[in-house]
Amino acid sequence: MDEQYISRAFVSAHSDRPVEQLAAGLGPGPFSLVLLFVSSEADVAGFVADTARIWQGARIVGCTTAGEISGAGYDEGSIVAIGFHARHFAAETLLVPDLSQLVATDLSEALLHIRHSLARDHGHLPEEFALLLVDGLSAREDELASALAAGTGMMPLIGGSAGDGANFRETLVFDGEQLLANAAVISIMRGACPLRAFKMDHIRPTERRMVVTQADSAARIVRQINAEPAVHEYARLIGMQPESVDILTFAIHPLTVRMGERHHVRAIQRVLPSGELLFFSAIDEGMVLTIAEPNNLVDHLASELQALTRPGNPVAVLGFDCILRRVEAQEKQMTGRVSELLRKHGVIGFSTYGEQIGPMHINHTMTGFAFYPPGTVVSGSDP
């Protein structure tokens, strides 16, 4: 990877002085933006407090994770740092400090103002794009992604929902020294590197369908499916006992909703003690859900990552990968082969509680950007 454009470094979350170790790994910079994906095993507050001292002049944003993608491939208990060199990238950030007070028009206006300022001051950098990090337990990602659409226009936006391993207790994002829950931060950037946005999923819809007949859409809770208790009907349709349903079940038997000609996963997060199903993304009464089956994760990932090399070898690939893909890889003993592919293609990022691409919040995918050397002719991105 050509370090003069995008640098990367990794360290154990339990290391002494992790910020200094990451700074040494990234090199002297200067950087316009430093992205940090932090295991919840770390002293997150102490780590965030140290970052501004080390990377003065850079925008510093990040979040907690459900696992990391580092130089080892799939990783756990680590911190991933990505530095965008200031000579080739310009960055501004927009913090949404309280998602319960989201005002779409204000957000769009603020986003447009930042885009115009970057275009005025850094018009020599031809590529414009945005990165979104959002609290993965906020239940507001769908609304946020939709609200951003008016301000992003045709500018590609990719993002991930902060995680907390498999604990689902607390997910945090940070912008500078501000460490917040129920918040989001958008990094708006211009750069010299051509890029391609991508969305990978290996899910195949079946003919088995169900209807959500009772739900709390604000809380993303499904109470009844086909007028039956939610977990009982879901279990019946996939041939399982309700008491056996767990996060692995959701990875192997995902549910999708059709939008136009494409199916997008509406992933289940967990079964509540009441037998209701809590989802990672938007759900509502009357929604028709289709049971899907995964194709071979390794074969699909190999094909999709190889496709990213057609314009040339990327200088970096930034990936936001759903936690359910990691769970599936572990259960099917594919973790080693998946990690090998991620290492081979230089993918860096984290495992998420949800992924964003453009105006959509989705699940069971890997979204991201592939960055190429200046002058590379890149055509084709996922919508």
Q: Which pLDDT value is given to residue 274?
A: 93
Q: What is the mean pLDDT of residues 65-90?
A: 97
pLDDT at 282: 87
Instruction: State the pTM of this model.
Output: 0.92
CA distance linking residue 162 with residue 172, whole number of Å: 6
Q: Return the pLDDT at 239.
A: 93
Determine the Cα–Cα distance for residues 344 and 304; give it in Å rounded to an integer: 13
Domain boundaries, the chain: 6-200+298-371, 203-294
Give percent above pLDDT 90 in the chain. 85
Q: What is the mean pLDDT of the chain?
A: 93
Is the pLDDT at 1 greater than 90? The verdict is no
Q: Which pLDDT belongs to residue 2?
A: 42
User: Residues for the chain: how many in total?
Assistant: 383
Taking the mean position of all CA atoms in its chain, how far away is CA 118?
24
- Residue 133 pLDDT more than 70? yes
Instruction: Assess contact for 79 and 47: CB atoms under 8 A.
Output: yes
pLDDT band at 260 (very low <50, low <70, confident <90, very high): confident
Q: Give the CA radius of gyration of the chain.
A: 20
Q: What is the mean pLDDT of residues 255-265?
A: 84
**Residue 5 predicted with pLDDT over 50:** yes
- pLDDT number for residue 380: 56
| Among the ranges given (23-27, 36-40, 69-73, 267-271), the one the predictor scored with the smallest mean pLDDT | 267-271
pLDDT one-digit tens code per residue, 304-363:
999 999 999 999 999 999 999 999 999 999 999 999 999 999 999 999 999 999 888 989
Check whether 14 has a pLDDT greater than 90. yes
Q: What is the pLDDT of residue 109?
A: 95
Quick: pLDDT tens for 94-129.
Answer: 999 999 999 999 999 999 999 999 999 999 999 999
Q: What is the pLDDT of residue 243?
A: 93
- Per residue in 200-248, pLDDT (tens digit) is 999 899 999 999 999 999 999 999 999 999 999 999 999 999 999 998 8
Cα dihedral 186→96→323→215 (10° resolution)? -130
Q: What is the pLDDT of residue 383?
A: 43
Give pLDDT, residue 279: 93
Secondary structure letter of residue 358 according to DSSP: T
Look at residue 54 and give its three-state secondary structure: helix
Residue with more model confidence, 276 or 259: 276
Q: What is the DSSP string of 167-197?
A: T-S---EEETTEEESS-EEEEEEEESS-EEE
Digit-coded pLDDT (tens) for 363-374: 999 999 999 999
Write down the pLDDT at residue 135.
97
Query: Which amino acid is it at 319?
Result: G
pLDDT of residue 13: 96
A 10 A CB-CB count for 251 gives 24
